[in-house]
Amino acid sequence: MRQRLGALGVPVPDWAEVGDRSALASFLAAHGGAAVVKTPRGGYDGKGVRVVRSAAEAEDWLAAGPLLAEELVDFRRELAQLVARRPSGDVASWPLAETVQVDGVCAEVIAPAPHAGRLADEAREIATAVADGLDVTGVLAVELFETADGGLLVNELAMRPHNSGHWTIDGAVTSQFEQHLRAVLDLPLGDTSPVHPVSVMVNVLGGPAGARMPDRYPAALAAHPDVKFHSYGKESRPGRKVGHVTATGVDAPTTRERARAAATFFDA
C-alpha cells in the first residue's frame, strides 16, 4: 500500500520495510527515536500496530517476518475521506469527516469535520487520486492525519463501506451502503450531500454487560427520540463494536453531546 500510494504521489508518512533489529534501529535513529511498527497481516482496530522506541520492543514480531516501520506522526487530529467509484470512472465524495480514536479504535465520527477549510478540498483530491489510481470499485475510506503543521498524510485505506461512513445512513442523501451497491452494479452514483448541518456517530464499544444493546432500548429511545440506534445483533464483549448511534443537528458541540449521551445507555 505504501509503495502504491507513493507512486501515486499521495502524501504518506515516512516508512520502510524492516527485516531485522538493525534495520529498525536505523529507522528509529533517522526518525527521532520513535516509530510505529505494523505487521503485514491481521491489522485492524489497533491490532498488529505498536509504537516502539527501541528495536528490542519489536523483537517478537520481527521473529515472524519483516514489518512496516513508519514515522510517528505528530498530528492534530484524524480525518476520514469517504468516496465511491464505479467501474466507468465516476467518483462521488461525501463531506470530509473527523474521526476520534481511543486506544486505536474509532470512537466517534463528526461530519462534516469542523473547521476543515482547504483540507476538505485536499482530502477529496487525495481520495479521488487513490480511487482512480488503484482502480477502485465501490466505497473507499481514506484515513488521514491532519499534521501539526496543517498538512495531510494518508494513514490507512479501507476499501469497503467503513465505520467512518456509518453517519451517512442517517445523515446523507445517499448512504455508503446504497452507494456501494450502485458502484458495484456500475449504476450512476447518488447525491452525497448531508441532510443535516452536522451528524455525529458514536460507536457502542463493548456493550452492556450480560445484556445486548436492544435490552437497553426502552430507556435509550425514550430519552432520545431523535437519535438513530443501530445494533449489530452481537453479544457484548469488552472492546467489541456491537453497534452505533447517530445524532443529527445544527452544530457540532451540541450534536456530539447528544450522541454521546445516547451512547452512554449501552455502557457496561
Query: Binding residues for a copy of itself, per CB under 8 A?
Result: 173-174, 182, 187-191, 193, 195-196, 217-218, 221-222, 225-226, 228, 248
Q: Smallest distance from the beta carbon of 222 to a copy of itself, in angstroms?
A: 4
β partners of residue 96: none
From the CB of 129, what's the least distance to a copy of itself, in Å?
Answer: 22
Asked if the bond preceding 208 is cis, omega within 30° of 0, the reply is no
What is the smallest separation between the CB atom of 49 and a copy of itself, expressed in angstroms? 37
- Cβ proximity to a copy of itself, 137 vs 155, nearer residue: 137
d(CA 113, CA 199): 10
Nearer to a copy of itself, 107 or 181 (CB): 181
Q: 62: which residues sit within 8 A by CB, 6+ positions away?
A: 18, 19, 20, 21, 24, 55
CB-wise, 114 or 218, nearer to a copy of itself?
218
Q: Which is nearer to a copy of itself, 59 or 251 (CB)?
A: 251
Query: At its nearest, how many Å lie between a copy of itself and the CB of residue 86?
Result: 11
- Distances, alpha carbon 74 to alpha carbons 16, 58, 78, 111, 164, in Å: 18, 21, 11, 23, 21
Choose between 185 and 268: whose C-beta lies nearer to a copy of itself.
Answer: 185
Whether 142 contacts 126, CB under 8 Å: yes
SS3 94: coil
Minimum CB separation of residue 133 from a copy of itself in Å reads 24
